[in-house]
Chain A
Amino acid sequence: EAGVTQFPSHSVIEKGQTVTLRCDPISGHDNLYWYRRVMGKEIKFLLHFVKESKQDESGMPNNRFLAERTGGTYSTLKVQPAELEDSGVYFCASSWLAGGGEQYFGPGTRLTVT
């Protein structure tokens, strides 16, 4: 079974540019989560999809961040325009709808805004 995949693994952009991160969850997982870890801090929740619907987006920092999940499959997280403080590692995780609570994480995308 393929795990959660994320693309790209690393992105370096200038302040003011746009970046789109992609996450492909494990097949059959209806729950999809985005998290972020900034330098020296803990992993923090951004938002949660159930299929194509946003269930909880309470962790999204501001309206420069836009997440979508087309057809309930893969998800994208767009940052526009990027700011220096957006640098960090963005993790995607997925889980079964009726699962026991454990989440399966991707390897992360390291975003560097210069």
Chain B
Amino acid sequence: SQKIEQNSEALNIQEGKTATLTCNYTNYSPAYLQWYRQDPGRGPVFLLLIRENEKEKRKERLKVTFDTTLKQSLFHITASQPADSATYLCALAPYGGATNKLIFGTGTLLAVQP
């Protein structure tokens, strides 16, 4: 069956360290994969998109990698800050295209301690 798995347990790290979140998927061949941030009581906010032919994407303190052989994406936040505390969602577009529905993982709760 098709599945997207993220670290089910909360990730606690110290301020200034690098947070690494994992997204694994099975039985999909996505054209691209996205990462979203969600705060309590709010909708997901788009962070980064990485395509199947890209290995790595960066935006400020964020970095995403995409390994289609391992069927895995890693999401890194460097020099983490308490304000980075939130739930981070991995989402993939199963069929490609700009008008595609998204399939979400359950999310990983990140807590950055000051």
Contacts and interface: CB of A to CB of B under 8 A. Distances in A.
A59 B4 CA distance: 17
Nearest to A45: B101
B79 interface: no
Interface string A38-69: 00011111001010000110010000000000
B45 A105 contact: yes
- Which of A95, A103, A108: most chain B CB closer than 10 A? A103
Given A45-B102, A59-B101, A100-B98, A108 B32 contact: no
Contact of A106 (B41, B43, B99): B43
A107 interface: yes
Contact of A95 (B4, B36, B41, B99): B99
Given A31-B99, A103-B46, A107-B42, 17 more contacts: A4-B43, A31-B98, A42-B4, A44-B104, A50-B99, A56-B101, A98-B98, A99-B98, A101-B34, A101-B49, A101-B93, A101-B98, A102-B46, A105-B36, A105-B43, A107-B43, A108-B42
Contact of A91 (B43, B99, B106): B43
Contact of A48 (B45, B99, B104): B99
Interface residues on A, range: 20 to 34
Interface of A: 4, 31, 33, 35, 41-45, 48, 50, 55-56, 59, 91, 93, 95-108
B46 A97 contact: no
- Interface residues of chain B: helix, strand, loop or mixed (majority): loop
- Which of A31, A44, A96, A102: most chain B CB closer than 10 A? A102
B100 interface: yes
A74 B1 CA distance: 35
A73 B34 CA distance: 26
Contacts of B42: 107-108
Contacts of A101: 32, 34, 49, 93, 97-98, 100
A102 B49 contact: yes
